[in-house]
């Protein structure tokens, strides 16, 4: 092999990569025009480089597609989480709205039928669009038995004349404003023992009251 061909073939890799300076590039191009051997070497190197470039491009596209897939998955996960949070907020709002438009009015144990009717009339004056349910002492006792489940024996002896649970009105209104009006109108009414705004607080309070009464020395 001629010395010049050895030099040119060493430069062919740089020529294919485009890293030669202008003078070396011109030298290679002039030599390839007149030397078939070096031209074949150039064609082989160019073919191999194309294969390598294609492989690099394919690998790059694979990485891009992988990133895009990962991004799509993250978008889907984020969307599901957002929808889940929205649903939770809706449920929380509905629960809040329901609880805060339901109140229970506890009355004294010895209330007469006329006095109970007067309190019902007072409630209805504040809002016509209201649902009122009367809960007798016997029904209150049954509620507590259900709450106590396996410990119902603690409530033994409180039936009939020994029933310590007060009668009440469960009131459901359409708006919080109506509920507030009813609560305000009943604050100073004789015969009302307690006004509870949410069912959860009601049951907790009842259980605590029962616990105190059952462990009071007077019972």
Share of residues in the chain with pLDDT > 70 (%): 77
Choose the most confident range, by mean pLDDT, from 14-18, 66-70, 170-174: 170-174
Cα 117 to Cα 129: distance, rounded to the nearest angstrom: 18
Whether 58 has a pLDDT exceeding 80, the answer reads no
Average pLDDT over residues 106-114: 88
Position 148 scores a pLDDT of 84
Position 156 scores a pLDDT of 84
Contact at 8 Å (CB) between 127 and 171? no
3-state class (DSSP) for residue 156 = coil
Beta-carbon-side half-sphere exposure of residue 53 (alpha carbons within 13 Å): 8
The burial class, CB within 10 Å (0-12 / 13-18 / 19+), for 191 is middle
Average pLDDT over residues 85-106: 69
- pTM > 0.85: yes or no: no
Position 133 scores a pLDDT of 92
Of 132 and 55, the structure prediction assigns the larger pLDDT to 132
Cα 185 to Cα 50: distance, rounded to the nearest angstrom: 89
Position 203 scores a pLDDT of 44
Average pLDDT over residues 143-168: 85
CATH classification code of 102-214: 3.30.70.3040
Choose the most confident range, by mean pLDDT, from 23-32, 65-74, 105-114: 105-114
Q: Which of 3-7, 19-23, 132-136 has the lowest mean pLDDT?
A: 3-7
Whether 186 has a pLDDT exceeding 50, the answer reads yes
User: Nearest Cα to 53, choosing from 24, 12, 16?
Assistant: 16
Whether 102 has a pLDDT exceeding 60, the answer reads yes
Average pLDDT over residues 150-161: 83
Q: Which of 9-18, 21-30, 31-40, 181-190 has the lowest mean pLDDT?
A: 9-18
Is the dihedral angle over the CA atoms 25, 27, 32, 36 positive or is it negative?
A: negative
Whether 99 has a pLDDT exceeding 60, the answer reads no
Q: Which of 38-47, 57-66, 107-116, 129-138 has the lowest mean pLDDT?
A: 57-66
E strand or H helix at 103: strand 102-107
| Position 209 confidence tier, pLDDT thresholds 50, 70, 90 | low
Q: What is the mean pLDDT of the chain?
A: 77
């Amino acid at each position: 092999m001629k010395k010049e061909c050895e030099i040119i073939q060493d430069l062919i890799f740089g020529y294919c990569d485009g890293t030669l300076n202008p003078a070396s590039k011109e030298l290679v191009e002039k030599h390839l025009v007149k030397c078939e051997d070096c031209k074949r070497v150039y064609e082989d190197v160019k073919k191999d480089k194309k294969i390598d470039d294609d492989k690099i491009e394919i690998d790059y596209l694979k990485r891009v597609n992988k990133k895009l897939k990962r991004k799509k998955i993250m978008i889907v996960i984020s969307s599901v989480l957002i929808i889940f949070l929205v649903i939770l907020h809706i449920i929380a709002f509905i629960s809040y709205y329901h609880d805060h438009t339901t109140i229970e009015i506890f009355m004294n144990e010895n209330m007469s039928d006329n006095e109970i009717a007067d309190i019902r009339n007072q409630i209805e004056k504040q809002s016509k669009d209201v649902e009122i349910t009367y809960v007798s002492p016997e029904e209150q006792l049954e509620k507590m038995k259900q709450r106590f489940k396996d410990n119902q024996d603690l409530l033994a002896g409180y039936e009939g004349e020994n029933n310590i649970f007060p009668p009440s009105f469960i009131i459901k209104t359409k708006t919080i404003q109506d509920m507030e009006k009813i609560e305000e109108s009943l604050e100073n009414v004789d015969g009302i023992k307690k006004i509870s705004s949410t069912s959860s607080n009601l049951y907790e309070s009842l259980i605590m009251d029962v616990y105190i009464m059952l462990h009071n020395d007077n019972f």
